[in-house]
């Protein structure tokens, strides 16, 4: 049934390997700037590390997971071999070449601009070219997902597209379009300067282009986790999916409204007026809708599982859930972290409240809780679920898996809650050193120290994750059986055309983007004298 | 009832519960956006509204950000305008002096890369993007000292970019304005 096992495994192994390395960098960064260690003497090492950590965790790791998972879904849900396997390997190759090309200048200290680029700081052109290659490789995946869906629909006219594939294509289209913002920034603004064709750059415009990518990229990271919530978890915990159409509506909403809201990252920026800031703020509130719908549907699906297992009464079904099943633990932890992270996110996107925490350690806490916590723990769950089907060997260390998930959950809470707190105190993020002897900063010393221990827990959890996978790879062969996605309690026999394809929603997605970004971009293009001299980093004296 | 009927009835209930939840969710979101709009319009709490530009290459030699014009200036209407410039890796002035219980506007820009402007213990928090002017209104309730870090990565000296804000009694501040056109902590 899975004819592209090697392809999917290659994506997952590379993804988790670079994740493991970047995890170590993250823990090191937390340690060296905490009160536990003395000043590292060269701050450049810290920013170099942050650039590597962010580039890997933000661009390489989740992209490879989405690609590998996407190829697996295409084969498993459509029940046919992947069309374009050779192209898929080409895409994988581009991601590998791009990642290496980007990481070499970073590790040499020639591109310590952080993964958010921050022009007019300009690093080595190879850093940016490498990232462009990673994105181009992933665009091959985007095209292949739509191609596979198109061919399946042509052969199965009128049949509902399997939910997993429907959602998978939503994620790929979202990424295809949201990556355009950063691509424009890189190709039209940064690369000409990095290559020496120009010496000035409009930093304000660059920030607007980057915001186009910066928010929806989070939803691209989120998509595999949401696909797992809907199409893996209900089956894995012995239940059924509560609603197939609500799932489709949620994914459509993500596709349409996740995109044109990125200016909420620019609330405090001087180059965008208040009107569009408000519009993006209101639309950001709207993107909470698909998440609220998802929380309801998945909790209802868990209730079905609990009742099928004999749970009675308003809360008895909770006790009856399979709590020793790693998948049950993963989804629970993920939801708890999504809840806290989402509540923090409502503050970030608030037109008024954002100013109290903007760009402080709070924000770092927020996105680590959402991405590193709620999303990455589901990446672990996806790997645990797919591994036996990819390797033909069973994963039997259930106890280790539970320990790993518990450690990740506790570690992420211990890491990020103190960050939220010191952010409220006004602690700026991304500094190589804090003078905790200053009486005004002294109250931040203890929470920062606590968070370092959270980082240690995360490293232990990451190591356990590799132990589980490697033990699986070494286990004797065992037939994993047919792979199944969750079945809806009322399986769809036919779905409206609007919920079975994306033409309408793509038009809306692009239209909304043009409305919400067209004016701010046009205004900045029309403004004279806003280009400023580039400041090169890593230049040899 | 047959099993089929049961199934259909169940589907109807499921759909109804789901619709109710969706309506509650939409109501929550409309309420949140409405609150933000109300506070923005009625209390004028909102991010910077206008886009203003300033050429960073001539920032020091022409316009409002020349060095002699930096610091706190008393306006004819009794409010205070504070002008500051950020550059790798310091602010000018390095210590801002402002009066308590007075409407204050901070106007700042960057001479090189993107910097951040945050006054701890307040809601003053903005980005300084070269080429653009950031303007933020504020009122300090009481005298005190605040740290003012740059909160955006601006190069390898970023961790050393901290300034100070000294809030003093209004009368003391006004007394100083008679001797100096622009005020900072060193005067």
Instruction: Report pLDDT digits (tens) over A381-417.
Output: 999 999 999 999 999 899 999 999 999 999 999 999 9
Phi-psi region of A310 (alpha: psi -120 to 50; beta: other; left: phi over 0): left
* Helix, coil or strand: residue A536: strand
Residues B145 and B58 in one domain: yes
Active site residue A420: no
Residues B9 and B94 in one domain: no
Shortest distance, CA A94 to any CA of chain B (angstroms): 30
Active site residue A215: yes
**A278/B10 CB distance under 8 A:** no
Active site residue A367: yes
A279-292: burial string, b at 16+ Cβ within 10 Å, e else = bbbbbbbbbbbbbb
For residue A302, the model assigns a pLDDT of: 94
Residues B21 and B96 in one domain: no
The total of other beta-carbon atoms located within 10 Å of residue A435's CB is: 14
Q: What percent of chain A is helix, strand and coil (3-state, nearest 5)?
A: 70, 5, 25
Which chain B residue shows the shortest CA-CA distance from A304? B14
**A490/B130 CB distance under 8 A:** no
Number of domains in chain B: 2
Picking from A51, A354, A444, A532 by the largest number of B CB atoms within 10 A of its own CB, the best residue to mutate is A532
Whether residue A537 lies within 8 A of chain B, CB to CB, comes out as yes
By Cβ distance, the residue of B25, B114, B150 closest to A118 is B114
**Helix residue ranges per DSSP H, B43-157:** none
Helix or strand (DSSP H, E) at B186: none
Active site residue A235: no
The topology under which CATH files domain A5-535 is: Cytochrome C Oxidase; Chain A (1.20.210)
Residues B9 and B72 in one domain: no
Is residue A540 predicted with pLDDT exceeding 60? Answer: no
Shortest distance, CA B36 to any CA of chain A (angstroms): 6
Whether residue A428 lies within 8 A of chain B, CB to CB, comes out as yes
Residues B77 and B10 in one domain: no
* Distance of alpha carbon A343 from alpha carbon A334, whole angstroms: 14
Structural domain contains residue B182: no
Structural domain contains residue B81: yes
Whether residue A512 lies within 8 A of chain B, CB to CB, comes out as no
Helix or strand (DSSP H, E) at B117: strand B115-118
Residues B89 and B117 in one domain: yes
Q: What is the mean pLDDT of residues A316-327?
A: 95
Say which residue, A302 or B11, is predicted with more confidence.
A302
User: Which has the closest alpha carbon to A257: A349, A188, A363?
Assistant: A349
The active-site residue out of A368, A389, A393, A420 is: A368
Residues B5 and B89 in one domain: no
Is residue B40 predicted with pLDDT exceeding 70? Answer: yes
By Cβ distance, the residue of B17, B130, B156 closest to A532 is B130
Active site residue A128: no
pLDDT in tens, A420-469: 999 999 999 999 999 999 999 999 999 999 999 999 999 999 999 999 99
Whether residue A244 lies within 8 A of chain B, CB to CB, comes out as no
**Number of residue pairs across A and B with CB atoms under 8 Å?**
213
Say which residue, B178 or A120, is predicted with more confidence.
A120
Structural domain contains residue B187: no
Residues B32 and B59 in one domain: no
Active site residue A280: no
Active site residue A219: yes
Structural domain contains residue B185: no
Is residue A541 predicted with pLDDT exceeding 90? Answer: no
User: Which has the closest alpha carbon to B106: B143, B59, B70, B56?
Assistant: B70
The total of other beta-carbon atoms located within 10 Å of residue A100's CB is: 12
Structural domain contains residue B157: yes
Is residue A275 predicted with pLDDT exceeding 90? Answer: no
Find the domain containing B30 and state its range.
1-46
Structural domain contains residue B137: yes
Shortest distance, CA B179 to any CA of chain A (angstroms): 31
* Distance of alpha carbon A468 from alpha carbon A400, whole angstroms: 7
**B29/A289 CB distance under 8 A:** yes
Q: What is the dihedral of CA A224, A226, A231, A234, to 10 degrees?
A: 130
By Cβ distance, the residue of B134, B152, B158 closest to A270 is B134
Residues B66 and B93 in one domain: yes
pLDDT in tens, A147-183: 999 999 999 998 999 999 999 999 999 999 999 999 9
* Distance of alpha carbon A305 from alpha carbon A311, whole angstroms: 9
Is residue B1 predicted with pLDDT exceeding 50? Answer: no
Q: Which CATH number goes with the domain that contains B75?
A: 2.60.40.420
Structural domain contains residue B184: no
Q: Are A226 and A294 in contact (CB under 8 A)?
A: yes
Quick one: pLDDT band at residue B6, thresholds 50, 70, 90?
Answer: low
**A490/B154 CB distance under 8 A:** no
Is residue B2 predicted with pLDDT exceeding 70? Answer: no
Structural domain contains residue B92: yes
- Percent pLDDT > 70 in chain B is 95
By Cβ distance, the residue of A242, A351, A429 closest to B46 is A351
**B159/A118 CB distance under 8 A:** no
Residues B71 and B131 in one domain: yes
* Helix, coil or strand: residue A281: helix
Q: Mean pLDDT score of chain A, rounded to an integer?
A: 94
Residues B83 and B132 in one domain: yes
Q: Which chain A residues have a beta carbon less than 8 Å from that of B160?
A: 433
Interface of A with B in 445-484 (CB under 8 A): none
For residue A229, the model assigns a pLDDT of: 96
Q: What is the mean pLDDT of residues A511-518?
A: 92
pLDDT in tens, A29-69: 999 999 998 877 889 999 999 999 999 999 999 999 999 99
The total of other beta-carbon atoms located within 10 Å of residue B164's CB is: 17
> Could you state, in order of their start, the residue ranges of all structural domains in chain A?
5-535
* Helix, coil or strand: residue A309: coil
């Amino acid at each position: 049934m899975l004819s592209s096992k090697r392809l999917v495994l290659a994506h997952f192994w590379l993804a988790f390997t670079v994740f493991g390395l970047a995890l170590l960098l993250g823990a090191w960064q937390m340690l060296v700037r905490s009160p536990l260690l003395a000043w590292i003497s060269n701050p450049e090492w810290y920013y170099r590390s942050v650039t590597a950590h962010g580039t890997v965790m933000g661009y390489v790791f989740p992209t490879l997971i989405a690609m590998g998972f996407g190829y697996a879904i295409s084969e498993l849900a459509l029940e046919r071999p992947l069309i374009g396997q050779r192209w898929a390997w080409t895409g994988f190759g581009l991601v590998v070449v791009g990642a290496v090309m980007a990481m070499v200048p970073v590790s040499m200290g020639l591109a310590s601009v952080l993964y958010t680029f921050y022009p007019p700081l300009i690093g080595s052109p190879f850093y940016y070219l490498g990232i462009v290659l990673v994105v181009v490789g992933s665009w091959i995946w985007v095209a292949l997902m739509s191609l596979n869906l198109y061919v399946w629909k042509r052969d199965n006219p009128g049949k509902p597209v399997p939910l997993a594939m429907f959602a998978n294509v939503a994620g790929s289209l979202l990424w295809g379009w949201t990556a355009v913002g950063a691509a424009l920034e890189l190709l039209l603004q940064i690369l000409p300067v990095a290559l020496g064709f120009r010496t000035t750059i409009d930093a304000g415009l660059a920030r607007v282009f980057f915001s186009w990518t910066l928010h929806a990229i989070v939803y691209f990271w989120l998509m595999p986790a949401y696909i797992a919530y809907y199409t893996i978890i209900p089956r894995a915990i012995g239940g059924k999916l509560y609603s197939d159409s609500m799932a489709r509506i949620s994914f459509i909403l993500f596709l349409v409204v996740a995109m044109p809201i990125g200016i909420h990252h620019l609330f405090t920026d001087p180059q965008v007026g208040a009107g569009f800031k408000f519009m993006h703020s209101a639309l950001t509130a709207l993107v909470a809708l698909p998440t609220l719908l998802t929380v309801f549907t998945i909790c209802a699906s868990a209730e079905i599982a609990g009742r099928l297992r004999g749970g009675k009464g308003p809360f008895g079904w909770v006790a009856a859930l399979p709590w020793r099943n790693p998948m049950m633990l993963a989804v629970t932890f993920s939801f708890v972290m999504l809840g806290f992270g989402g509540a923090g996110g409502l503050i970030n996107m608030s037109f008024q409240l954002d100013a109290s925490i903007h760009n402080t350690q709070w924000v770092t806490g927020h996105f680590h809780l959402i991405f590193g916590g709620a999303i990455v723990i589901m990446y672990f769950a996806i790997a645990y679920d797919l591994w036996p089907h990819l390797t033909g060997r069973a994963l039997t260390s259930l106890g280790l898996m539970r320990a790993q998930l518990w450690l990740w959950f506790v570690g992420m809470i211990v890491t990020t809650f103190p960050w939220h707190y010191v952010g409220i105190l006004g602690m700026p993020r991304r500094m190589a050193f804090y003078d905790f002897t200053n009486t005004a900063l002294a109250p931040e010393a203890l929470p920062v120290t606590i968070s370092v221990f959270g980082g240690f827990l995360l490293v232990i959890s990451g190591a356990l994750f590799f132990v589980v996978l490697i033990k699986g790879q070494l286990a004797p062969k065992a037939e994993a059986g047919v792979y199944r996605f969750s079945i809806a309690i009322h399986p769809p026999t036919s779905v409206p055309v609007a919920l079975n394809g994306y033409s309408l929603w793509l038009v809306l997605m692009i239209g909304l983007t043009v409305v919400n970004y067209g004016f701010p971009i046009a205004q900045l293009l029309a403004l004279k004298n806003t280009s400023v001299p580039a400041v090169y980093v890593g230049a040899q004296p | 009832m047959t099993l089929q009927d049961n199934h259909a009835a169940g589907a109807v209930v499921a759909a109804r519960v789901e619709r109710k939840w969706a309506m509650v969710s939409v109501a929550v979101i409309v309420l949140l956006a409405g609150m933000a709009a109300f506070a923005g319009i009625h209390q004028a709490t909102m991010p910077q509204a206008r886009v203003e530009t300033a050429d960073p290459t001539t920032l020091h030699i022409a316009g409002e950000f020349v060095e002699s014009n930096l610091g706190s200036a008393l306006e004819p209407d009794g409010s205070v305008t504070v002008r500051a410039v950020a550059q790798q890796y310091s602010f000018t002035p390095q210590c801002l002096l402002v009066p308590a219980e007075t409407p204050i506007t901070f106007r700042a820009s960057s001479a090189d890369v993107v910097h951040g402007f945050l006054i701890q213990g307040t809601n003053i928090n903005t980005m300084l993007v070269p080429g653009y002017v950031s303007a933020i209104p504020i009122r300090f309730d009481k005298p005190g000292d605040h740290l003012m870090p740059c909160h955006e990565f601006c190069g390898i000296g970023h961790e050393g970019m901290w300034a100070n804000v000294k809030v003093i009694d209004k009368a003391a501040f006004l007394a100083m304005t008679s001797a100096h056109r622009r005020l900072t902590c060193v005067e």
